A and B are shown apart, each in its own frame.
Chain A
Amino acid sequence: MGQVVALDSLFHSRQVWHGRAAPLPGSSEPTGWPMLDAALPTGGWPEHAMTEILLPADGVGELQLLLPTLARMTQAKRHVMVIAPPYVPCVAGWEARGVVMGQVDIVQAADRDVLWAAEQCLRSGSCAAVLAWPMHADDRALRRLQVAADTGKALAFVFRDRRHVAHASPAALRLELEGEPSPRVHVRKCRGGNPPAQAIALAAGWS
């Protein structure tokens, strides 16, 4: 102890091997938003994992963010479960963005059953993506969803209020949406990399 060796000199004399993080395998589930794909470490949604989407209010572009992904999945005849949505999905609006509604199951569930239903759907392995709007989800419940998504090899999207951003979450990816002054998405956490500092712009929901 006591002897201080400059890190630089160690590196230069090649006595220390400088490890590098292994490159992450690219995701096969692009988000459909090139800017967002570029900002995420795997270049798409984290596979077999949960993504948490934090909202200031309903209707700020949360579907806009997901509809390209849902359109791609349903057109490939993969199944999507929508559990306890806050409003009724409008068929005309969804179809205009390419979603095949025949592949979308809308599950009406009471507050206490939302997490159970989401876990069943994820674990079953027969759904490509599960969207859920749980009212009361604690860390434990979210962790269960994360494990279920991994078991069933599905994408889980959980929508929660923005005030949860301060709490830790087991989600592999956390996105925060912002409607004002323009629709933007902040990456708050992403597994396998540092979250980008800038927000990523989204197109407005109606255009």
Chain B
Amino acid sequence: MLWACILLPQLALDGVLRRRPPSDEPLVLVSGPAQGRIVHAANAAARAAGIYRGQRLTAAQALLPSFAMIEHDVGDESHWHRLLAAWAYRYSGDVGLLPHAVVLEVSRSLNLFGPWPRFESLLREDLAGLGFRHRIALAPTPQAAYVLSGVEDGMAVMDVPKLRGALSFIDVARARLPEGAAASLQSMGIRTLAQLLALPRAGLQRRFGGELVAHIDRLLGDEPSPMESYRPPDTFDQRMEWTHEIEHVEALMFPLRRLTGDLSAYLAGRDGGVQRFELLLEHRDAPPTRVSVGMLAAAREASLLFDCARGRLERVELPQPVVAMRLLAPDLPPFVPAGRDLFDARPANAMPLDQLRERLRSRLGEQAIQHLRRTVDPRPERAQTSAAHAKEAPRREGLPRPTWLLDTPRPWRGPPPELLAGPERIETGWWDGGEIRRDYYVARTAHGQYAWIFGAPGEQGAWMLHGWFA
């Protein structure tokens, strides 16, 4: 077994930072009771001014006259934690959640994603794209990986014999030992894990109880670590909230890109797709504006999801400024990737046809793209349909049919046409009340156009134009 641990040192702060466009403005997360507010986290600009975690808010305000202040939300933090677990699920079936960290079993994933250095760079690339700062370590046990990631970024210990050596220099205070044990050990003069591991087990058991010994066993892999495997939920629901109000749709594009990107990462993790999802734009005092986004087929590519959502969102008129946006995808059908030919002659940067259709539909409307097909009905008005479920009819040969058809026949204006062929009598439709009785002719107009016209049987006066032989 090999476990990779991804430590997320600034989970809460990253969760806040990623929903606003990048800026150098100092930003601070605050927590604690109203009387004694303290700084929970500070971004780089705020830290440069001397603000640090755990500082009193009044002291921070004395250091820096103005900074953005956001209430720390524990629920929000755990939400991001779960999102990252869903993302990690893409790389391994065994994903566990530890405080501020995600661990995943990677020994089998290495077969698929390549040796550890390559795999590690894949993970880092993804995390950087999602906007989370991270430290990664690899070790044969999840506990050891967790400890190593807290000490040094990028450390990798591949087998159990080397683990003891790698752990030996680590300070007991940073070894994530059970509550209280580290302080007692330090007061006993035990500074590093090497010293701790050299102590007799029986003595440790007597002094600290079974918990510390069991912890050491799990750390070294002598005993398996109980860990609840993460299971991704079957729906996707994510919300982003701002401290300011957004009045223009254009300003929603940045958070939208994040949301669709998260959805895409989540879908890739569960090897699923999404066909329709809903965006809820929340307002201060009005019911939320709902924008539903539908696609022709299940998809999961981030750029496609963003394109579709943007097309729909751009046409929305906001009744009020938006304070939060929520993306809901209750139904996640399986995703079938489109097959492409090995010897495809199309340009390499070609956009798949489905994506093109989605883009057109999102701007021109849901019904903008039609496919016409024949029906069994002989009446020219109903001989073709754009309905998707229509049955394909056999082809009839021989009779002249125009290439342009008028939606509804219109009276013929101008000088009488010169008849070239006909009549073809169409007398049908008695079964549903839409009965027609017409004699169709091919005629030539004075401008040299060829027309498909009809009149009442036996009469050659009141012509109706029904199509063009263009």
Tell me the A residues contacting B by CB distance below 8 Å: 56-64, 67, 79, 85-97, 101-102, 104-110, 113, 116-117, 120-121, 123-127, 152-153, 178-183, 204-206
Partner pick for A126 among B356, B365, B442, B470, CB 8 A cutoff? B356
Residues of A within 8 A of B448 (CB): 56, 60, 178-183
- Expressed in whole angstroms, the Cα–Cα distance for A127 and B360 within the complex equals 14
5 closest A-B pairs by beta carbon, nearest first, are A179-B448, A59-B468, A125-B350, A205-B469, A180-B448
- Expressed in whole angstroms, the Cα–Cα distance for A117 and B365 within the complex equals 12
Most chain B Cβ neighbours within 10 Å, of A97, A113, A182? A113
Partner pick for B370 among A95, A108, A181, CB 8 A cutoff? A108
With A60-B449, A93-B403 known as contacts, the answer to whether A206 contacts B356 (CB < 8 A) is: no
B447 located at the interface, meaning its Cβ lies under 8 Å from any Cβ of chain A in the complex:
yes
CB atoms of B352 and A87 under 8 A apart:
no
B364 located at the interface, meaning its Cβ lies under 8 Å from any Cβ of chain A in the complex:
yes
CB atoms of B405 and A205 under 8 A apart:
no
CB atoms of A62 and B470 under 8 A apart:
yes
Residues of B within 8 A of A58 (CB): 404, 449, 468, 470
CB atoms of A93 and B447 under 8 A apart:
no
With A107-B360, A126-B346, A126-B356 known as contacts, the answer to whether A88 contacts B470 (CB < 8 A) is: no
- Expressed in whole angstroms, the Cα–Cα distance for A59 and B373 within the complex equals 22
- Expressed in whole angstroms, the Cα–Cα distance for A96 and B347 within the complex equals 32
- Expressed in whole angstroms, the Cα–Cα distance for A90 and B470 within the complex equals 11
Partner pick for A124 among B350, B400, B404, B451, CB 8 A cutoff? B350
Residues of B within 8 A of A90 (CB): 384, 401-405, 467
CB atoms of A205 and B364 under 8 A apart:
no
Residues of A within 8 A of B372 (CB): 88-89, 91, 101, 104, 106
B368 to chain A, nearest CB (A): 5
CB atoms of B447 and A56 under 8 A apart:
yes
B450 located at the interface, meaning its Cβ lies under 8 Å from any Cβ of chain A in the complex:
yes
- Expressed in whole angstroms, the Cα–Cα distance for A204 and B468 within the complex equals 12
B98 to chain A, nearest CB (A): 46
Residue of A nearest to B355 (CB): A124
A17 to chain B, nearest CB (A): 38
CB atoms of B368 and A104 under 8 A apart:
no
Residues of B within 8 A of A205 (CB): 402-403, 450, 468-470
CB atoms of B449 and A179 under 8 A apart:
yes
B residues 411-449 near A (Cβ < 8 Å) are 420-421, 442, 446-449
Partner pick for A180 among B357, B406, B447, CB 8 A cutoff? B447
B241 to chain A, nearest CB (A): 34
CB atoms of A104 and B403 under 8 A apart:
no
